Structure 1
Amino acid sequence: MATTSNPLESELQTLQQQAQEAIATVPNLEELEQLRINYLGKKGQLSQILRGMGKLSAEERPRIGSLANEVKEALQASLDQQKASLQTAQIQAKLAAETLDVTMPGVSRPLGRLHPLNSTIDRVLDIFVGLGYTVATGPHLETDYYNFEALNIPPDHPARDMQDTFFLADGRLLRTHTSPVQIRYMESHEPPIRIVAPGRVYRRDTVDATHSAVFHQVEILAVDKGLTFTDLKGTIKEFLRQMFGEELPVKFRASYFPFTEPSAEVDVQWQGKWLEVMGCGMVDPNVLKAVGYDPEVYTGFAAGLGIERFAMVLHKIDDIRRLYNSDMRFLSQF
């Protein structure tokens, strides 16, 4: 632009120079928008300058007006160019921040696994729930009544010698089996019932390759009209078939439990030899009477198994203590 002594022309030239310098160095889109308003808005600096055109002569107005339009177009072009440049830079920065470098090693996040005892319990429960049973649980700290007496084991009964028990000073005890869950459930439910009761149990036992003072059981109980030992055998055979994945030879041996009559031990033929896996029997009438059921109307059967035994068989584990010592070299195999 040619140098002139007209004040408005000089102001326009100065405005254009200052504005373009400011636009060229603006760091972000928000500040760029503020510059646009400051220079080209209705109350912006260009509008303020043009208010003085009323004082110009008729000959100067067209020239200053044309110059003002040129300044406005130049500033708008600078604004558009800088806006495009800032938008491109913003996109590039976002891409750089969010880009995944597939050549870099990933961040290791080890996945947890189910403990073999938990997975065995889940497998047992899935089978019985599929057979129509409901999962039931109960307290680990029990009374003598629920752990023994209601199960047809009075204080002087020799069957108490079969379970060496942890007693507390107040007379309560750590449950020696999950059978108390059956009593508590029958007290609050009317037949027909079918429950499966998993849980941890406690006995004073010497720890060795096949024994532990703390272990896990799962017991089942069914009470209804007309249940027989045939129903019990069919249930156990179907459970074992699903548990081991094949039709194994099964043998029922006569046995004794104070809360079932008749009672039996269940053996399966596994890897060429007979292996004891469960105890079972028809619910003793005295147990039914203890919970208010009429044994002349209802019959029932129960069965129980040790989870550790099943886990050791399924996974060919040679020592029960491996299940408790938290050795990751062992647990990572499952």
Structure 2
Amino acid sequence: MTALAVLVLVALACLAGPGLTGTEPDRFYPDLRLLPAGLGAQPDEAHLGLALERIAFRIRARVAEATRDGETLRLVLAADAPIDRRGLVYLPRSDLFGPARVVGEEEGGRRLILAVPVRALHFPLGTDIHGRDLLARSLVAGRVSLAVGLTATLVALLIGIAYGATAGLVGGAVDAVMMRIVDALYALPFIFFVILLLVFFRASLGLMLVAIAAVEWLDMARIVRAQTLSLRERDFVRAARALGSSTPRLLARHIVPNALGPIAVAATLLVPQVILLESFLSFLGLGVQEPQTSWGVLIAEGARSIETAPHMLAAPAAFLIATLVSLTVFGDGLADALDPRGRET
């Protein structure tokens, strides 16, 4: 139940969290790049000066004085020629400051005294190399990763359970032919299959789902077939067959319900496997493409910057590890709860 609670919290955070962070996941803050994780408000004194210098350069002026008093900044801009006030729009465009108010003018407009509101931004997990909020990006990435994992797993379950249960219950030559088809698909290199798809179709999230689902059902089919082979000789299956139950009824009423324990464990392990596979494809440039992102993409970006910004790897990795561990623990508990022998005792 603890693992289920963690999964629910992660899912809710990914769904509703980005709107509560106060920043846009794709918003660039050039003056706040590679900020470490922390709870302090930004921009702090160190980054405030850099941001003002950059904005003043665009206004064609220089910072003569900057005094901060809480959330208000007294800014004095100076230039060799009268300052064009239209350039003050660069302050609110940076998303670090609010609209500036001119409180004084000196030297014929070559010196402006401004009152500038300073916005308080918070980056609990820091920012990346482009100055984007890692918390907001990790939550948005979780939507894609969880959607890929759940969708591909659902497709693999539907195909694998139907295929494996049918092969195991029918048996004989039908079982042999069906499993040889599975063996032939196993022999096809996955990366070659993905590249082959990319030759005919454009790389996209949908194409990646098709590629993953097309191969991940093979393991599920073998697991279900093995469970079916052990169940079809049980007395309750023989009794149902003797009473005239058809093959679809046997599968739906007796085989699949009694195999739910192993299937649940395999499914919970398949979700993180799919997420990791999506990460691998995205790292190769065959999966999630910009402007979309996923935990795998963020981890790949963090791995490239691990020496200078280890928090870029730690943030998405923490979400991924929490999800994978919770899925594994939840699968074990679900297998015990669905085990018919456990219910009998």
TM-score by length of 1: 0.20
TM-score by length of 2: 0.19
Compare CA radii of gyration and give the structure with the larger one.
1
Q: Which structure: greater strand fraction?
A: 1
Q: Which structure: greater helix fraction?
A: 2
